[in-house]
Amino acid sequence: MTPGRKSRTVRKAVPARSRKPKRDAEATRERIFAAATREFASHGFGGARVDRISKRAKTFDRMLYYHFGNKEQLFRVVLEGAYEDLWAAEERLDLARADPVAGLRELIAFTWQYYVDHPEFIRLLNSENLQQGRNVRRSTRVGKLSSPFIRIISDLLARGAKEGVFRSGVDPLKLYITIAALGYFYVSNRYTLTHFLGADLMGEKARKAWLAHITDVVLASIAAA
């Protein structure tokens, strides 16, 4: 070795033919996952069919069973992915130094827009609730994760109470449910509500008006006296 020169670890090159099967397997798994997400979101767990998932993923049923075990396990993985996507989006919110009122407004707007932009998330949760949450209970991944939402709300409430803009003693869990419910119900029932009320609930004007209503309701419920 030349004096003064650091030695470098030389890694043996992996032949291209040995890397390709791994890449192909990962690509197949990703296609199955994407196809399953669309199938379960469109037809629910009960109505989803393995053959349609395989066809959409451009693979075979046996590959689905090889990668995911069975239909129920595949649904569980899809559901876990939906939760993880939401929580990853929540983690990207930077509200630690935000004004408490402005921060809560942003959190409400984020939640509402996420439901609007991800109707598949709403439909997957609807399907899981029809199964009484059995896949969530059996999921080890969901159990190890926790939504950043509660932590963010707790911080905003604490700082808002200290500044005198929010009343003290507000339960962050109840506030979370309130925010989620006001957005979730509207989006999940938009078809029946549109027919029943005779109004275009998903038009841009209607969506903006509902966000303003949600925000007013939530802020009024926690405002300091």
For residue 10, being part of any structural domain is answered with: no
Is pLDDT at 141 greater than 90 in this prediction?
A: no
pLDDT category, 21, cuts 50, 70, 90? low
Contacts of 68 (CB under 8 A, 6+ apart): 32, 36, 74, 77
Q: pLDDT, tens digit, for every residue of 52-61?
A: 999 999 999 9
Q: Tell me, what CATH number does 29's domain have?
A: 1.10.10.60
pLDDT, residue 8, reads: 43
Q: Are residues 55 and 166 in the same domain?
A: no
Say whether 223 sits in a helix, a strand or coil.
Answer: strand
Among candidate residues 108, 211, 102, 93, the one with its CA nearest the CA of residue 160: 102
pLDDT category, 140, cuts 50, 70, 90? confident
Q: Are residues 39 and 128 in the same domain?
A: no
Q: pLDDT, tens digit, for every residue of 189-203?
A: 999 999 999 989 999
Q: What does the DSSP assignment read for 3-45? A: TTPPP-PPPPPPPHHHHHHHHHHHHHHHHHHHHHHHHHHHHHH
What b/e readout covers 93-107, taking b as 16+ CB neighbours within 10 angstroms? eebeebebbebbbbb
For residue 4, being part of any structural domain is answered with: no
Q: Are residues 95 and 148 in the same domain?
A: yes
pLDDT, residue 19, reads: 58
Q: Are residues 142 and 86 in the same domain?
A: yes
Q: Are residues 65 and 93 in the same domain?
A: no
Write out the residue range of the structural domain in which residue 166 sits: 78-222
Q: Are residues 204 and 169 in the same domain?
A: yes
Q: Are residues 53 and 164 in the same domain?
A: no
Distance CA 109, CA 183 (A): 10
Q: Are residues 50 and 85 in the same domain?
A: no
pLDDT category, 184, cuts 50, 70, 90? very high
Q: Tell me, what CATH number does 113's domain have?
A: 1.10.357.10
Q: Are residues 180 and 100 in the same domain?
A: yes
For residue 121, being part of any structural domain is answered with: yes
For residue 213, being part of any structural domain is answered with: yes
pLDDT, residue 162, reads: 97
Please list the residues that pair with 223 across neighbouring strands: 166
The position carrying tokens 């027919």 is 195
Distance CA 11, CA 8 (A): 9
Q: What domain count does the chain have?
A: 2
pLDDT, residue 62, reads: 93
For residue 111, being part of any structural domain is answered with: yes
Most confident listed range (19-23, 83-87, 112-116):
112-116
Q: Are residues 109 and 64 in the same domain?
A: no
Q: pLDDT, tens digit, for every residue of 96-129?
A: 999 999 999 999 999 999 999 999 999 999 999 9
What does the mean pLDDT of the chain come to? 89
Q: Are residues 56 and 142 in the same domain?
A: no
CA distances from 170 to 55, 134, 146, 167, 217 (A): 50, 31, 20, 7, 14
Domain boundary residue among 69, 102, 124?
69
CB atoms within 10 A of CB 155: 16
Distance CA 140, CA 16 (A): 35
For residue 9, being part of any structural domain is answered with: no
